[in-house]
């Protein structure tokens, strides 16, 4: 078996029992994530739609600003830190909450992208809904995994005290990778501190000049896969010499369709490879800047 496949198999080989933990389930039900968040999302979309139809760009910005303050305590506390991209877009924290019990901590920050310019209004709706669903589904799935992990731990002789010492936590958050006059790039992430086998990241890139969400092909052209692959291979040779990390070049199949990437402040795409895709787990998720010709 190939080294990469064997490493991933061992890394992902986590036993999952059928029983579920009632204590963790009660914590999530108490939070009322699904019902309240969905209702809040629908209310906000209606408000945003009315605001955009009834006002010009400046007035729309005021409506969106107010909606953000009312929706997110984090946003209200940190108004001075709002990323504003030119005069056309901003990223807000749509919802931020934390819940904590004796054996589980959950932290969730859900972003919302707002297009202030009238000619771009509405282009963020589908992406915002996709981001919201991703955050909600990841948190729910992570909680289920925590319940199953807990039950497996207890079934194999672990005690409640020993389990509590694990300090299990689930985190869903986002990071703005680039905020220039040309590009908006952000990544939404989910992680679980007891295993990184299920960690996920989704990247979103918007070209403010073209007025559209973009792929790597939009940035590098039709031969984007070959261009990115060749650039990465050249960089790997240098990294192996400098860092001493052994990359699995012979087993790597190169860049495929829809790779993860973000635009950096210099206007170049940075390709993000999956863990174990091209190197041992100690290399994490390798990133490679691809110069734009």
CATH number at residue 15: 3.30.565.40
Which has the higher per-residue pLDDT, 21 or 3? 3
Same domain, 139 and 199: yes
Q: Report pLDDT for 65.
A: 38
pLDDT in tens, 228-280: 999 999 999 888 888 778 899 999 999 999 899 999 999 999 999 999 999 98
Domain termination residue (choose one: 198, 213, 228):
213
Domain termination residue (choose one: 186, 213, 240):
213
Same domain, 70 and 142: yes
The domain total for the chain is 2
pLDDT band at 78 (very low <50, low <70, confident <90, very high): very low
Phi, psi of 266 (to 5 degrees): -80, 0
Same domain, 42 and 83: yes
pLDDT in tens, 6-27: 655 655 554 544 443 444 444 4
Same domain, 183 and 249: no
pLDDT band at 5 (very low <50, low <70, confident <90, very high): low
Q: Report pLDDT for 241.
A: 84
Phi, psi of 237 (to 5 degrees): -55, -40
- State mean pLDDT over 101-105: 84
Among residues of the chain, what percentage have pLDDT more than 90?
Answer: 50
Q: Report pLDDT for 59.
A: 35
Same domain, 61 and 186: yes
Average pLDDT, the chain: 78
Q: Is residue 60 part of a domain?
A: yes
- Enumerate the β-bridge partners of residue 170: 106, 192
């Amino acid at each position: 078996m190939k080294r990469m496949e064997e490493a991933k198999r061992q890394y992902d080989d986590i036993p999952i029992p059928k029983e579920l933990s009632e204590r963790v389930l009660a914590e999530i039900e108490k939070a009322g994530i699904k019902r309240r968040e969905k209702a809040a999302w629908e209310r906000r979309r209606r408000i945003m739609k009315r605001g955009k139809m009834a006002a010009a760009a400046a007035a729309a910005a005021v409506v969106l600003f107010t909606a953000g303050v009312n929706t997110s305590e984090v946003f209200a506390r940190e108004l001075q830190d709002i990323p504003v991209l030119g005069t056309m877009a901003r990223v807000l924290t749509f919802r931020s909450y934390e819940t904590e019990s004796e054996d589980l901590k959950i932290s969730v920050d859900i972003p919302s992208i707002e297009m202030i310019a009238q000619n771009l209004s509405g282009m963020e709706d589908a992406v915002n809904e996709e981001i919201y669903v991703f955050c909600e589904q990841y948190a729910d799935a992570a909680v289920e995994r925590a319940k199953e992990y807990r039950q497996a731990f207890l079934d194999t002789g672990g005690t409640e005290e020993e389990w509590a010492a694990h300090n299990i936590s689930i985190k869903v958050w986002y990071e703005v990778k680039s905020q220039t006059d040309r590009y908006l790039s952000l990544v939404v992430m989910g992680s679980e501190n007891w295993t990184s086998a299920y960690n996920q990241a989704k990247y979103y890139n918007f070209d403010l000049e073209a007025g559209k969400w973009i792929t790597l092909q939009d940035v590098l052209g039709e031969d984007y896969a070959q261009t990115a692959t060749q650039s990465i291979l050249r960089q790997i040779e240098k990294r192996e010499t400098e860092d001493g990390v052994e990359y699995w070049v012979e087993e790597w199949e190169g860049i495929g369709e829809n790779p993860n990437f973000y635009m950096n402040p210099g206007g170049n795409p940075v390709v993000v490879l999956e863990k174990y895709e091209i190197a041992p787990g100690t290399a994490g998720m390798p990133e490679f800047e691809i110069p734009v010709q």
